[in-house]
Amino acid sequence: MSRELIDLAIERLREDFPSKSKSWIRRALIRFMKNTVKEYGENVWVVKGLPELGDKYLTYVVRLRDGRYYCSCFESSWGLRRKSEICTHIAAVILYRNYKKLDSEVYASVINIECVDYFLEIPSELKGKVKVVRSVRVVDSSDRLNPRHRVTYVVYSSEPMEIKARLICDGEVRELSLRLARTRRYIVELLVR
């Protein structure tokens, strides 16, 4: 397991559950690091119980249905209390899924520009197949109404491809031919942070 990926996976978990405590995150992390999460089928995971975290059962089953997670610990004697919260079995599954996603292969191309006004146009038939993320930083704000930006675009897809794109930078139009090369999803995330 890579430290950088774990940090990013935790960051995502925190963003999704900003009101959760440090100890909730810590327990989820312990479950994840102890390798207790196994994928059992589509949208079903089995989480091994950890007595040191108060688990009474050997295993717990987490399911994702209609965008909501359910854990078998909801059905235990503490179920009523627990149902209103997201248990750390579920949090461990989310962490596991975040990690897997960040570790997955993608095909990407990076564009760096400095402009006042900018726009990247991807052919409309590729929408849904190709994703674009960007980070924007102001590098020169001496003209306060027209600050200059450094923009990083990452164009990525789940398959290798070559695409045409149009980049507009301060009124100048450039036709680009982008070859999406193999990398991993977390690299994309790091590039646009």
Sites of contact with Zn ion (CB under 5 A):
71, 73, 87, 89
CA separation for the pair 120, 138 (Å, rounded): 18
Q: How far is the CB of 135 from Zn ion (least distance, A)?
A: 36
9's CB contacts (< 8 A; 6+ apart) are: 95, 98, 99, 102
Residue 77 CA to chain centroid, in angstroms?
34
One-character DSSP codes across 79-108: HHHHHTS--HHHHHHHHHHHHHHHHSEEEE
Q: How far is the CB of 31 from Zn ion (least distance, A)?
A: 10
Strand 148-157: give its sheet, edge to edge. 118-121, 161-169, 172-184, 105-115, 148-157, 130-140
> Whose Cβ is closer to Zn ion: residue 29's or residue 73's?
73
> Whose Cβ is closer to Zn ion: residue 89's or residue 149's?
89
Positive or negative torsion for Cα 41, 37, 67, 57 = positive
Q: How far is the CB of 57 from Zn ion (least distance, A)?
A: 9
> Whose Cβ is closer to Zn ion: residue 49's or residue 101's?
49
> Whose Cβ is closer to Zn ion: residue 82's or residue 134's?
82
Q: How far is the CB of 98 from Zn ion (least distance, A)?
A: 18
